[in-house]
Amino acid sequence: MTTIVILTGAGISAESGLGTFRDKDGVWMRHDLADLATPEGFARNPALVHEFYNARRAAAAAARPNAAHLALTQLQRGYAGRVVLITQNVDDLHTRAGTAGVIQMHGSLMRALCHGCGHRWPAPARMAPQDPCPACGAAQTRPDVVWFGEMPYRMEEIYRALAEADLFVAIGTSGTVYPAAGFVAEAAQAGAETLEINLAPSGAMFDRVLTGPAAQVVPDWVAGLLGEPPDSGA
């Protein structure tokens, strides 16, 4: 049975209206990630960081999965082999599109974490530094998002999947942040064929590159894999 391992980045949610990080008007082009996406930045100004994630949580809640997210669900349901979806994104669009077992390696805007006791719970729409943890009562709550300098989630499971991959596909990621940026080399080393789907080649080493907006390219790619006629686009 063949295994397809897919890694997605901010580019797959771009057509759902959610910003990417490093494109010309990207999030890190307008904000200093040291202030907003590091434990040190959070320690310095938790209210600022909560505000940043409250805004991103509201945008993600208002966004809808696009044709690329939905096509990956079709692939997972229709493909004869195994499809493992790893995302760097902290929005919940893959899950809302119906994909099962999504590995959110950078955590989720929709989950809260207590820095004190490690308890996790569904994040309220707005979080603030003084929010008490529902389990231990400490006012040490944070978004359950992996910041720079922190270890991404479920890495053992990810490396096992990469070792078993027959096909590795990176969709909408610039390949600039490790460990995710190293997954294509891991998969290639294990003998997988590698495919990049992006607006433009990221420059990393892939066997094949399909360029164009994910909401157009991914459905056609999935239709081809499932042996269906490409979307007439009608």
Active site residues: 106
Q: Which is nearer to ligand APR, 192 or 214 (CB)?
A: 214
Q: Cα(111)–Cα(119) distance, rounded to whole angstroms?
A: 10
Q: Which is nearer to ligand APR, 35 or 166 (CB)?
A: 35
* 16 lies in the binding site for ligand APR (CB under 6 A): no
- Figure out which of the listed residues 110, 165, 214, 222 binds ligand APR, where binding follows CB under 6 A: 214
DSSP string, 78-127: H-SSEEEEEE---S-HHHHTT-SS-EETTEEEEEEEETTT--EEEPPSS-
Q: Cα(113)–Cα(110) distance, rounded to whole angstroms?
A: 10
Helix, strand, or coil (residue 56): helix
Q: What share of the chain is helix, strand, coil (3-state, %, to 5)?
A: 35, 20, 45
Close Cβ partners of 53 (under 8 Å, ≥ 6 residues apart): 109, 127, 143, 145
* 56 lies in the binding site for ligand APR (CB under 6 A): no
Question: What mask of x and - would describe binding to ligand APR in positions 77 to 96, judged by CB under 6 A?
Answer: -----------x--------
Close Cβ partners of 151 (under 8 Å, ≥ 6 residues apart): none
* 190 lies in the binding site for ligand APR (CB under 6 A): no
Q: Which is nearer to ligand APR, 74 or 131 (CB)?
A: 74
* 174 lies in the binding site for ligand APR (CB under 6 A): yes
CB of 130 to ligand APR, least distance (A): 26
Q: Which is nearer to ligand APR, 55 or 136 (CB)?
A: 55
CB of 58 to ligand APR, least distance (A): 18
Contact 133, 142 (CB under 8 A): no
- Figure out which of the listed residues 5, 9, 76, 158 binds ligand APR, where binding follows CB under 6 A: 9
Residues contributing to the site for ligand APR (CB under 6 A):
9-11, 14-15, 20-23, 26, 88, 106, 172-174, 176-177, 198-200, 202, 213-214
